[in-house]
Amino acid sequence: MGWQVAVEEWKGSWWLWWGLLSMLLVLEGRQQELPARVNLSAAPAPAPAVPTALHSKMDELEGQLLAKVLALEKERAALSHSSHQQRQEMEQELDALQGRVAELEHGSSAYKPPDAFKVSIPIRNNYMYARVRKALPELYAFTACMWLRSRSGGTGQGTPFSYSVPGQANEIVLLEAGHEPMELLINDKVAQLPMSLKDNSWHHICIAWTTRDGLWSAYQDGELQGSGENLAAWHPIKPHGILILGQEQDTLGGRFDATQAFVGDIAQFNLWDHVLTPAQVLGIANCTAPLLGNVLPWEDKLVETFGGATKAAFDVCKGRAKA
């Protein structure tokens, strides 16, 4: 390799590092100027809601940038053997980072309101999914509600969601595989749910469970379809797992199986740390009293899509008859 080529490559990586460094500096600067804008004595009320959201978004972004820097550092070590194409790829990555910064500048949420979106998985596969970026606490009861529109063409719904924790891949799973009935798994124990969602239109479903006697109930479109007991009775749901929409985890955060994948749209996945009343469930399903989960609200910034799954603006209750 000639001396001039080496200089060229050095220049390429110099620009890359300069770009990253200046972005980090911009972020640092923003973070420092934020608290100054919040005059606590002028606003004793919880005014900093937006700055807090912005802060966490920036923390998150900075974390991502740092991870990228590390990755690029590794790549740079290999740069002496690299090609023009590889440098271009790194520059594309820089562009993507700049895109994230621009997103930050346009406010903390892309959708207005931040829950007005859906996740779409267009085809059956083992790599498209959405991951929820919020750690769950230990739970002694929960209600999970969501709107689903299956595109599976009459076969099973696959896995609308799965929650894995270290040592237990099936901590909570909602699954309808092939022509089997829909199942709720908790700590790998199974209850069969009398639900039918095979007509490819939007349905609202809620699953409620409590550790006390392992009581569960399942609602479809606001109506109780079934209930039972002894499903993982007295088992507390373990915290800090990985919650994934659209795929079944055979191991923590991975080993997806296309035959268990969800195909279609998911919206308003909300999670509460208690059992909702039938009237609350009905109010959500008939759009007269939508509720956001107290443990996990359906919120743009908490839901990240991977592998080609997409997010799009969507309000499930818009145009739905209110009563």
Ligand X SMILES: *[C@@H]1O[C@H](CO)[C@@H](O)[C@H](O)[C@H]1NC(C)=O
Which pair of tokens denotes residue 185? 């798994």
Q: Smallest gap, in angstroms, from Cβ of residue 88 to ligand X?
A: 47
Query: How far, in Å, are 32, 39, 47, 56, 205 from residue 44 at the CA level?
Result: 21, 9, 7, 21, 40
Q: Which residue has the tokens 């739970």?
A: 139
C-beta closer to ligand X: residue 6 or 38: 38
Residues that bind ligand X (rule: CB under 6 A) add up to a total of: 10
- Mask 160-199, x = binds ligand X (CB under 6 A)? ----------------------------------------
Query: How far, in Å, are 6, 28, 66, 88, 285 from residue 23 at the CA level?
Result: 26, 9, 11, 19, 44
Q: Can you tell me which of 39, 192, 230, 251 binds ligand X, judged by CB under 6 A?
A: 39
Q: Smallest gap, in angstroms, from Cβ of residue 119 to ligand X?
A: 26
C-beta closer to ligand X: residue 290 or 297: 290
Q: Residue 221, interface with ligand X (CB under 6 A)? A: no
Instruction: Reduce the DSSP state of residue 304 to 3 states and report it.
Output: strand
Q: Residue 4, interface with ligand X (CB under 6 A)? A: no
C-beta closer to ligand X: residue 110 or 289: 289
| Torsion over CA: 313, 301, 316, 239 (sign) | positive
Residues 258-317 that bind ligand X (CB under 6 A): 279, 282-283, 286, 288-289
Q: Residue 41, interface with ligand X (CB under 6 A)? A: yes
Spatial separation of the C-alpha atoms in residues 214 and 138, rounded to whole Å: 16
Give the list of residues 6+ apart from residue 5 with CB closer than 8 angstroms, or none. none
Residues forming the site for ligand X (CB under 6 A): 39, 41-42, 279, 282-283, 286, 288-289, 323
